[in-house]
């Protein structure tokens, strides 16, 4: 069995997975969302302190499995430095004390492997990753063969949902709140610009859209003056433009990449309106759409454990005294993840 740890942002999570069967034997996640909500976003030092409390508590619950552990895995990049360190310190200690191998896991590769929790791998695969920190289209051919084909040049999709929600005086995280309000809204009321619509660039950009939302809010007299209907309509109009942007750029990729299997992963892939649009697009292009069970879209250790099973088989270990956090880098397209 592998014990895996995730602490890259505001979720403390530990999982136990079976190397032989891919089965998820234990999984627990303590989300800190409510604790950060009043700040409108994640406060790194607070997140770090909460991991220091929650991770050892979850670890206690995994005791029945400890005698069967063959390896320990941990997210070591990308993420918040002070929160990654909490998981890494714990993983290092377990590896040294139990004398078992340590597997470092790239968080985004973990999101990709959330597709395969309790399942077999599907490769090659085209993946649209939409999370709080990243927005990318990736061609996945193997554990160490993941090429970024498109990337955001500014904000990420999840981040833009969070920022728009904050501007409207709504809580954090903004994604689920905006999706809910949008259900009651008129998506054609506000004419927001589709980013890079007339550009040949195969990339994403969300800061201009965010600005257009800000100007719209100001024209309505600011967040406090907005009625519920205003908020529903603006949420729906914003979400529609996000969908159009993602679809337009994915379509361009579909025309050049003939991989049959396509997947959407990451926290924002829980958005059913976006999923529905990709369902239609994939049908149009004869692609098979793969999605992640809603409970595993946002950060969790089960996906880290699933990646770690494949890494274990390939002996992708690291000396516990050498593991360190790796700061964010290489986000541009054309590079390996």
Nearer to ligand KG4, 8 or 62 (CB): 8
**Could you give the CA distance from residue 247 to residue 287 in angstroms, rounded to a whole number?**
14
Under the binding rule (CB under 6 A), the answer on residue 173 touching ligand KG4 is yes
Q: Rounded to the nearest whole angstrom, what is the least distance from the CB of residue 246 to Zn ion in the complex?
A: 17
Of the CA atoms within 13 Å of residue 151, those in its CB half-sphere come to: 16
Interaction with Zn ion in 261-300: which residues (CB under 5 A)? 299
Under the binding rule (CB under 6 A), the answer on residue 44 touching ligand KG4 is no
Q: Rounded to the nearest whole angstrom, what is the least distance from the CB of residue 269 to Zn ion in the complex?
A: 11
Selected range binding ligand KG4 among 51-59, 157-165, 208-216, 254-262, rule: CB under 6 A: 157-165
Under the binding rule (CB under 5 A), the answer on residue 11 touching Zn ion is no
Per-residue binding string, ligand KG4, 287-326, x by CB under 6 A, is -----------xx---------------------------
Interaction with Zn ion in 109-138: which residues (CB under 5 A)? 131
**Could you give the CA distance from residue 202 to residue 249 in angstroms, rounded to a whole number?**
6
**Could you give the CA distance from residue 55 to residue 301 in angstroms, rounded to a whole number?**
11
Q: Rounded to the nearest whole angstrom, what is the least distance from the CB of residue 111 to Zn ion in the complex?
A: 6
DSSP-derived secondary structure letter, 270: G
Under the binding rule (CB under 6 A), the answer on residue 235 touching ligand KG4 is no
- H/E stretch holding 289: strand 288-290
Dihedral sign of CA atoms 269, 49, 70, 29 in order: negative
Which among 223, 249, 244 is positioned nearest to 234, based on CA atoms?
223
**Could you give the CA distance from residue 126 to residue 139 in angstroms, rounded to a whole number?**
5
Point out which residues bind ligand KG4 (CB under 6 A): 9, 131-133, 158-159, 161-162, 173-176, 179, 266-268, 270-271, 298-299
């Amino acid at each position: 069995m592998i014990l895996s740890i995730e602490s890259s942002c505001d979720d403390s999570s530990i999982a136990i997975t079976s190397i032989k069967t891919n089965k998820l034997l234990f999984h627990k996640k303590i989300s800190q969302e409510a604790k950060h909500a009043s700040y409108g976003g994640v406060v790194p030092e607070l997140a770090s302190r909460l991991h220091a409390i929650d991770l050892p508590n979850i670890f206690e619950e995994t005791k029945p499995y400890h005698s069967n552990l063959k390896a320990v895995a941990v997210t070591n990049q990308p993420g918040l430095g002070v929160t990654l360190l909490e998981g890494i310190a714990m993983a290092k200690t377990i590896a040294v004390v139990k004398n078992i191998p340590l597997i470092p896991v790239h968080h985004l590769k973990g999101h990709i492997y959330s597709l395969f929790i309790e399942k077999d791998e599907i490769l090659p695969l085209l993946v649209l990753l939409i999370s709080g920190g990243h927005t990318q289209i990736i061609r996945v051919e193997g554990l160490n063969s993941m090429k970024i084909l498109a990337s955001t040049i500014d904000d990420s999709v999840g981040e833009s949902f969070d920022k728009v929600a904050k501007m409207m005086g709504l809580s954090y995280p903004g994604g689920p709140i905006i999706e809910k309000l949008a259900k009651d809204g008129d998506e054609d009321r506000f004419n927001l610009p589709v980013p890079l619509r007339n550009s040949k660039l195969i990339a994403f950009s969300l800061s201009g859209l965010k600005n257009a939302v800000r100007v719209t809010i100001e024209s309505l007299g600011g967040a406090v003056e907005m009625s519920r209907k205003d908020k529903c309509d603006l949420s729906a109009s914003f979400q529609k433009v996000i969908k159009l942007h993602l679809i337009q750029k994915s379509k361009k990729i579909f025309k050049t990449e003939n991989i049959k299997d396509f997947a959407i992963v990451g926290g924002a892939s829980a958005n059913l309106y976006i999923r529905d649009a990709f369902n239609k697009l994939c049908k149009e292009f004869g692609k098979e759409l793969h999605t992640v069970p809603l409970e595993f879209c946002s950060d969790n250790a089960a996906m880290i454990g699933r990646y770690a099973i494949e890494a274990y088989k390939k002996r992708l270990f690291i000396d516990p005294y050498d593991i360190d956090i790796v700061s964010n880098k290489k986000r541009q397209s054309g590079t390996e993840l």
